């Protein structure tokens, strides 16, 4: 689960970083700085996913992306897509971890 969530956060960071370059000609000032802070936080968040605070930060950053989409309308679609990917990463990751745990439990130790 952590690997999928990390991948979503890093790719989200790169996409908002590249999209900020495009948005610089339409929006000036505070929204660009706000977007850059979100991009940096998204890039650093996967390191915290070992603890509960990382997951909470991931959810908060998804909300920040959706909020940034309200300020800069072109980011709303990007935020919705990545929020969906974030939810999918958690759901698929849980199923994968459960399958892995079942596989490890069914193995018999070689003596």
Where exactly are the structural domains of the chain? Answer: 2-106
pLDDT digits 0-9 by tens, 43-70 = 999 999 999 999 999 999 999 999 888 8
> Reduced to 3 states, what is the DSSP secondary structure of residue 23?
helix
> Reduced to 3 states, what is the DSSP secondary structure of residue 14?
helix
CA distance 101 to 5: 19
pTM assigned to the model: 0.82
pLDDT confidence tier of residue 80, bands split at 50, 70 and 90 = very high
């Amino acid at each position: 689960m952590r690997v999928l969530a990390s991948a979503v956060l890093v790719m989200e960071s790169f996409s908002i970083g590249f999209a900020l370059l495009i948005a610089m000609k339409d929006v000036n000032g505070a929204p660009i700085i706000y977007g850059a802070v979100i991009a940096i936080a998204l890039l650093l968040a996967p390191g915290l996913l070992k603890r509960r605070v990382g997951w909470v930060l991931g959810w908060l950053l998804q909300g920040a992306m959706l909020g940034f989409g309200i300020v800069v309308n072109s980011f709303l679609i990007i935020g919705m897509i990545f929020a969906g990917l974030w939810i999918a990463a958690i759901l698929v990751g849980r199923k994968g971890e459960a399958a892995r745990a079942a596989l490890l439990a069914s193995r018999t130790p070689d003596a």
